[in-house]
């Protein structure tokens, strides 16, 4: 299931791609390629947004929400 953060949906795909999608329009706002298989949906822990990897690691994905150039 996607994680809802404000007006965005955060979606993690099994292939390692994580997308930030504008909930109202469905427009992909940003993408992050972790280059590792993911096993579950993103979640919030304190001030961090994390997604679990197949090897048991947790990936911080706050850079997905950084303003673009």
Q: Which pair of tokens denotes residue 8?
A: 């965005």
pLDDT (tens, 9 = 90+) of the chain, 69 residues, equals: 899 999 999 999 999 999 999 999 999 999 999 999 999 999 999 989 999 999 999 999 988 876 655
Structure tokens at 63: 């850079």
Q: What is the pLDDT of residue 67?
A: 63
Q: What are the structure tokens assigned to 13, written together? A: 């795909």
pTM of the model: 0.87
Residue 23: predicted pLDDT: 94
CB 67 within 8 A of CB 22: no
Listed residue (69, 61, 66) closest to 10, CA to CA:
61
Rounded Cα distance between 48 and 60, Å, is 7
């Amino acid at each position: 299931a996607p994680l809802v953060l404000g007006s965005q949906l955060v979606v993690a795909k099994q292939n390692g791609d994580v997308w930030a999608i504008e909930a109202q329009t469905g427009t992909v706002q940003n993408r992050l390629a972790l280059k590792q298989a993911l096993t579950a949906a993103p979640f919030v822990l304190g001030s961090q947004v994390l997604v679990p990897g197949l090897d048991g690691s947790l990936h911080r994905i706050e850079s997905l929400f950084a303003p673009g150039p």
